[in-house]
Amino acid sequence: MSPEPQIDVAADADDLAHRAAAFIAARIAAAPQRLALNLSGGSTPRQVYQLLGAEPYRTGIDWRKVALFWGDERFVPFDHKDSNFRMTSEALLDSLPVPPGEVHRIPTDAGSPQRAAALYQASLQDFYGAQTLDPARPLFDVTLLGLGTDGHTASLFPDTPALEERRAWATAVIGASPEPRISLTYPALESSVDILFLVSGAAKKEILARVLANDRALPASRITARGAIRIFADRAALTD
C-alpha cells in the first residue's frame, strides 16, 4: 500500500462512522464545484451513509454538486437485497436531493457482467471526458473501500485475473464469489484524491495487520494511490 496510509483510530464502530461521515461532509463542503464520490458496499459504509442522510448533513451539504459512483456491484437486479445500489439508496439516496443524472450506478440490467462492466467504463469515461486517465487529474475526489477477511477490496479478490488488469477501468469478476460481480480496477480506484478504507471489528484485526505490513498477496495491499490513503479503523480492528 502506497503512500503510507494515515490511520484514524476510532473508539468503536459508531465512532468510526461519525469520523468518516464528518470527513466526507467536510470534503463536499470545501469542493468549489462538482465532487465525485465513489461509494462502497458493506455494513460499515451503511452506517456512514445513514449519518450523511440525516441531520445535520442532509440539509447542511449542497448535495446537488455531488456525483455518485460505485466501486463494485454484484450482478443482481437493482432492487435485490444484496445490491450495493439498493443499500445505498435506502441508507442515503432516498433522503437526498442528488440529481438523478449524477447517480452513476453500475448497469446490472445490461444482460451480462461483461456488458455491464463495458457500459460502466463508458459512463466513467464520459464523466471524465477522456478514455485515458491522467495522473494529474483524478477521476474521483473521494473513494470509499472496505477490507474483506481474505484481503479483498471492492471486488478485487485474491488470485483473480482482475488484479492484473491495467487497461480497463471496470471488469467482470467471475467465480470469486457465489454471484458474478463488476469491479473497478486498480487504475480507476487509484485515480482518487483521497482513498478511505473503513475497517471495523475484531474479525478484521489479522487481515488489517497484514495490509499495514504491506503483504502483497492481499489485493488491498496493492493499492497505490495517486493521492492520500486514509484508514478509518476502530480499536477492535487494530493490533494491540
Query: Domains of the chain: which residue ranges?
Result: 6-237
Q: Would you say 17 and 46 are in contact if contact means Cβ atoms under 8 Å apart?
A: no
Q: Would you say 158 and 184 are in contact if contact means Cβ atoms under 8 Å apart?
A: no
Strands (E), the chain: 6-10, 35-39, 66-70, 72-74, 140-145, 170-173, 181-184, 192-199, 228-234
Q: What is the largest CA-CA distance in the chain?
A: 47
Please give the pLDDT value at position 122: 98
Element (H, E) at 91: helix 84-91
Whole-model pTM: value is 0.96
Q: How many CB atoms lie within 10 A of CB 37?
A: 21
Element (H, E) at 116: helix 113-128
Q: Would you say 185 and 162 are in contact if contact means Cβ atoms under 8 Å apart?
A: yes
Mean pLDDT, the chain, rounded, equals: 95
Whose grid coordinates read 459512463? 123
- At 173-218, the pLDDT tens digits run 999 988 999 999 999 999 999 999 999 999 999 999 999 999 999 9
Q: What percent of the chain has pLDDT over 90?
A: 92
6-237 is classed CATH 3.40.50.1360: yes
DSSP at 2: B
Helix axes 13-30, 43-52, angle to 10 degrees: 50
Please give the pLDDT value at position 28: 96
Please give the pLDDT value at position 43: 87
C-alpha 154/C-alpha 41 separation (Å) is: 8
Give the residue from 98, 94, 117 showing the smallest Cα distance to 106: 117
Please give the pLDDT value at position 240: 64
What's the rounded mean pLDDT across residues 131-140? 96
Statement: residue 22 has pLDDT above 90: yes
- At 49-93, the pLDDT tens digits run 999 999 999 999 999 999 999 999 999 999 999 999 999 999 999
